[in-house]
């Protein structure tokens, strides 16, 4: 059983990070749609796929599309800053999630600028210059890596069983399972 809780924690945290990143990203699109007079038709949050939000009519697609990655970065960082001051024992989980969201959103926008994938095609079609998209990635990806760097190595977590308390591994796993359940229940089909 040596190492079981560390592996459960790491895998659950990675899966939960992916789902969290999609939720805060899509939340930005929803907020953008509502603030600009658009109508959110549906939000798809597939637990094992790529999320998407459909706004129609969408009077200001540039605002709606940019609020996805902006909120996808800003909200997790704000939560990390808030948690770090109040719940020190949970700070590292919030730090990991914030770093993950910065890296995922930044890489998505910077790389997507070249291939026009997903939101990036809309950004380019609405006049966002490629250099802005790449700059977004150049800023956010290193910030995410910086947050991760402060956590130490994955090997250290695996080599030091007391570092991950069994209850914490189960809480993260249960949170991931509940997130999947909610996404199945709430996601458009």
Question: Model pTM?
Answer: 0.90
**pLDDT tens profile 13-63:** 999 999 999 999 999 999 999 999 999 999 988 877 889 999 999 999 999
Of 106, 81, 107, the closest CA to residue 95 belongs to: 81
CB atoms within 10 A of CB 170: 14
Structure tokens at 99: 């770093």
Distance of alpha carbon 39 from alpha carbon 131, whole angstroms: 30
């Amino acid at each position: 059983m040596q190492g079981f809780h560390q592996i459960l924690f790491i895998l659950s945290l990675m899966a939960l990070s992916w789902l969290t990143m999609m939720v805060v990203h899509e939340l930005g699109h929803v907020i953008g749609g509502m603030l600009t007079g658009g109508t959110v038709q549906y939000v798809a949050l597939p637990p094992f796929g790529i999320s998407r939000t459909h706004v129609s009519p969408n009077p200001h697609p540039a605002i709606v599309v940019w609020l996805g990655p902006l909120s996808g970065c800003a909200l997790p960082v704000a939560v990390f800053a808030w948690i770090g001051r109040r719940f020190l024992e949970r700070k590292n989980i919030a730090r990991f999630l914030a770093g993950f969201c910065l890296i995922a959103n930044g890489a998505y926008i910077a790389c997507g600028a070249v291939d026009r994938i997903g939101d990036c095609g809309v950004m380019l079609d609405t006049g966002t210059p490629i250099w802005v998209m790449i700059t977004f990635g150049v800023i956010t990806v290193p910030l995410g890596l910086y947050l991760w760097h402060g956590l130490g190595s994955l090997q250290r977590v695996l080599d030091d069983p007391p570092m991950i308390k069994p209850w914490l591994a189960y809480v993260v796993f249960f949170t991931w399972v509940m997130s999947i359940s909610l996404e199945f229940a709430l996601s458009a089909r």
